[in-house]
Structure 1
Amino acid sequence: MQAVLIEAFSDRSCAGNGAAVVLLDQPRTEAWLQAVAGSLRQSETAFLLPHDGGWLLRWFTPSCEVPLCGHATLAALLALAHWRHLAAGQAVRFLTRSGPLQARLDPDSTQRGSIDLPSGGLLPAEAPADLRALLQRRRLGDPLRFWTSALGYAVVLLEPQAPLAGLSSIAAELQGDLARGLVLMKAQPAAAAVSESVPASVADLPVDYQLRFFAPGLGIAEDPVTGSAHALVAPWWQDQLGRSRVVGWQCSDRPGGVVCEALSSGKIRLFGSGHLLWDGTLHTQSPAESASSASLSASGDDATEAPSDPDSACAWLELAAAA
């Protein structure tokens, strides 16, 4: 099976958010998909399965399946272009656990594209006391606003002067619901210095806000560039700034920028590029061989194959039925 690693929301190597993309030859069991994702150890592994002229798409962290992932969706789009299933300017519809998702390659480049993601909506709430204490310990100040969301992410708005880019990981200190996903964000300071960590612009557009995302409960201490988080908060920034397009910069240790545009459907269109880090083949053992591990490497290590069965096929076809 073909596999690649795309560094999404970046146009250079060793930046952005890495996602492995695997092109399946048949439906595979959840246990097999999870074992491969655990072996590849990216924040997300995207699995593509051709179906009725289109594509079924699922996303797995090293520890669990997730209902939505932005950067791995962009990576899947760019992987299809790399494998010559799509040409520049072509569109594709992915069938996922979050419903159908539209994506389109840039008309001038197969290394750039756009994806349309649901936003989910922010729900105002009172910031938990333990979160307030954590922010104070890390010298981030009191939260200006706090929200929960149907996506399961909590969102904190910080003062523009909060040292977000210099924050060391807080994943080990997150408990309960906060561990399922915590977004820390702030407005881009008006006098922000142009630097590698926080540039003044992305795709020649000025940066409007900065963001960090932690999700230890999903097996991700910190996600470098999180499309679903930007799709979640972009409507708030669009409303605050009075325009339909905003630009976010995720100031992690593998930073990247996302251009976010509001659509009439209520979804958010994210624009981004990606860098192909490696291109390889996933080798599978026969079902009779050991089913205790999975791996992929340049030397051709074998990944254990769990044979396709009716239950695994049904799990995949549920994505098509929900479209």
Structure 2
Amino acid sequence: MKLPIFIADAFTATAFRGNPAAVCLLENTLDEDTHQHIAREMNLSETAFIRKLQPTDNFTEKNTNSTLTFVTLSGELKARKAEDGIVLDFPLYPTFPQDLHEVGDLIKAAIGDTLVQDIRYSPHTKNLLVRLSDSYDRSFLETLKVNTEPLPQIEKTGRVKGLILTLKGEPGGQAAPYDFYSRYFAPWVGVAEDPVTGSTHTILGPYWSEELGKKEMRAFQCSRRGGELDISLRADGRVDMKGGAAIVLEGTLTA
């Protein structure tokens, strides 16, 4: 069995940045074991399998109004092509104030004496959002040494599955103006740091929208690879996330 396969870097227009994902095109359904074998072989945090639902579907469709629907572990994810990138359609999730005393040990272990300005919790996604002091800048967040190793032992109730560090942006600052920055860590599920995380912006989007009084924002995730997202909050309670994509590998998988 030979299958077309690609590696695409998402949320970037530049190769070797953003979030790498494998995309495998299928003519027929594969069993779950084969899905898992391919995903392990690609050794990336995301592997997508695209299959034609109708014989007339065209993998090379170039209509910018067409929408692809992906079935993920988190539910359906819809994507459509825009002139300057790919737009993902996500729900929005609220966050609630979190008492420092309940998570102080976890935060201390992760970032030491770094000044914290706000702490929020998302029960829908089980993510803890920690906003760093406005006195810090992007370079501070980028170079901050985050100790994720002890976190699963400190918080082992299952209440927290991910840690978001975020910082107010610097409009007119570095190369491009960003409204906010972030980094994401999920050692509870085996991810020390994720390069770029669309799902965390379902939390960051509404949080920073309220803080900044804006519905349209530009975000940068400050991982080593880095990634850019355009965030647009919609009136129907969902959010559009737009980012670029660069194909860095194209080939055939023999299975």
Normalising by the smaller structure, the TM-score range is: 0.7 to 0.9
Matched to 1:11, the amino acid is A
Q: Does 2:17 match 1:43? A: no
State the Cα deviation string for residues 86-142 of structure 1 (Å, max 9, x = none). Answer: 2151321404244443322123x5xx22111112322332241322322552x4223
Offset at 1:189?
4.0
Name the structure with the higher strand share.
Answer: 2
Instruction: Specify the alignment match of 1:71 in structure 2.
Output: none
Q: Does 2:164 match 1:188? A: no
In structure 2, do the counterparts of structure 1 residues 136 and 233 end up closer, same or farther at CA, with 3 Å as the change threshold?
closer
Mapped to 2, the partners of 1:219 and 1:50 lie a distance apart of 32
Please give the root-mean-square deviation of Cα atoms over the aligned residues, in Å.
Answer: 2.4
Matched to 1:47, the amino acid is F
Give the match's secondary structure for 1:4.
strand
Give the match's secondary structure for 1:232.
helix
Q: Does 2:91 match 1:118? A: yes
Matched to 2:185, the amino acid is F
Matched to 1:172, the amino acid is E
State the Cα deviation string for residues 157-213 of structure 1 (Å, max 9, x = none). Answer: 111234211123433232134772211101014684x2xxxx4x2xxxx30111001
Question: Do 2:110 and 2:147's aligned partners in 1 also have CA atoms closer than 8 Å?
Answer: no
Instruction: Specify the alignment match of 1:306 in structure 2.
Output: none
- Higher RCO, 1 vs 2 (CA within 8 Å, ≥6 residues apart): 2
Q: Does 2:86 match 1:105? A: no
Mapped to 2, the partners of 1:123 and 1:3 lie a distance apart of 41
Question: Do 1:245 and 1:261's aligned partners in 2 also have CA atoms closer than 8 Å?
Answer: yes
Q: Does 2:106 match 1:131? A: yes
TM-score (norm 2): 0.85
Percent of pairs with identical residues: 27
Mapped to 1, the partners of 2:115 and 2:79 lie a distance apart of 38
Instruction: Specify the alignment match of 2:66 in structure 1.
Output: 91
Question: Do 1:115 and 1:269's aligned partners in 2 also have CA atoms closer than 8 Å?
Answer: yes
Question: Do 1:124 and 1:148's aligned partners in 2 also have CA atoms closer than 8 Å?
Answer: no
Instruction: Specify the alignment match of 2:121 in structure 1.
Output: 147
Offset at 1:240?
1.6
Offset at 1:238?
1.1
Question: Do 2:10 and 2:18's aligned partners in 1 also have CA atoms closer than 8 Å?
Answer: yes
Mapped to 1, the partners of 2:110 and 2:163 lie a distance apart of 12
Matched to 1:150, the amino acid is H
Question: Do 2:126 and 2:160's aligned partners in 1 also have CA atoms closer than 8 Å?
Answer: no
Instruction: Specify the alignment match of 2:181 in structure 1.
Output: 210
* One of 128, 144, 149 as aligned partner of 1:172: 149
Offset at 1:153?
1.9
In structure 2, do the counterparts of structure 1 residues 240 and 278 end up closer, same or farther at CA, with 3 Å as the change threshold?
same
Report matched runs for 1:255-294 at 5 Å: 255-284=226-255
Instruction: Specify the alignment match of 2:133 in structure 1.
Output: 159
State the Cα deviation string for residues 52-91 of structure 1 (Å, max 9, x = none). Answer: 4799xxxxxxxxxxxxxxxxxxxxxxxx8xx51x215132
Report matched runs for 1:48-87 at 5 Å: 48-52=50-54, 83-84=59-60, 86-87=61-62
Structure 1 segments of 4 or more deviating over 6 A? Answer: none
Matched to 1:235, the amino acid is P
Matched to 1:124, the amino acid is P
Matched to 1:43, the amino acid is S
Matched to 1:158, the amino acid is L
Unaligned ranges ≥5, structure 2: none
Mapped to 2, the partners of 1:158 and 1:2 lie a distance apart of 44
TM-score (norm 1): 0.68
Offset at 1:222?
0.9
Give the match's secondary structure for 1:146.
strand
